[in-house]
Structure 1
Amino acid sequence: MNFFRKKKKEPQPVIMTDNSIIRRHYRFTGIVQGVGFRVEVWKRAVDLGLRGWVKNNYDGSVECELQGSQEKMDHLVASMKKIPRIHIESISVHQIPLKQESGFEMMGY
């Protein structure tokens, strides 16, 4: 055992550049209200370090804006589709301008 031997360095995480941060507006329809959809989006967004908000609409849909990497947003949406009590019938999504935000908010709660 050699205590003076240098350890191999672990690979460093990739640091995102400003151009890899995007913002998207989502609208989900289906069984998305009364099933904890907003709470699940909020938990996942916070865990992933995404910024934005989520809210219920009067027509039974749920809207949210997510800001961060496309990969993290895609991961969040894919994980929402796997929750048995939630049934997403459709998702509309479009890219929108970035906003200055410091976190993620669950609106109307």
Structure 2
Amino acid sequence: MTKKFLVFGRVQGVGFRYFTWQEAKKLGLKGSVRNRIDGSVEVIAQGDETQMADFEGWLNKGPKTAKVERVLVFEQAEIKMSNFSIVRR
């Protein structure tokens, strides 16, 4: 299963990408995380239902340094991913 998450709030400049990468690795997910120009963070994640449910729960809280206001979730077409990475501009 592959999903795209758009995370809004105080999520840039607070280590959100790094902590997201760390959580994804811990859960065994594949995908990527990147900052968007509008101040949100985009996450593409791939895993099983349990992994994705745990990850979505974590994204709704985020790290202590962030203040997540809302998370939008979209079904994503399956794509081949080999790891979880932080995309830098």
RMSD: 1.4
- Residues 1:71 and 2:50 aligned together: yes
Pick the aligned partner of 1:89 from 61, 69, 75.
69
Tell me how far 1:103 sits from its aligned partner: 0.5
Write out the 4+ residue segments of structure 1 that deviate beyond 4 Å after TM superposition. none
Higher-RCO chain (CA-CA 8 Å, sequence separation at least 6): 2
2:14 paired residue number = 35
TM superposition score normalised by structure 1: 0.74
> Gaps (5+ residues) in structure 2?
none
Name the structure where strand makes up a greater proportion of residues: 2
Tell me how far 1:58 sits from its aligned partner: 1.1
8 Å contact from structure 2 (residues 32, 44) kept in 1: yes
Identity %: 33
1:107 paired residue number = 87
Aligned pairs, how many? 88
Relative to structure 1, is the Cα distance of residues 73 and 59 closer, same or farther in structure 2, using a 3 angstrom cutoff? same
- Residues 1:51 and 2:30 aligned together: yes
Give the counterpart letter for 1:100 in structure 2.
Answer: K
TM superposition score normalised by structure 2: 0.89
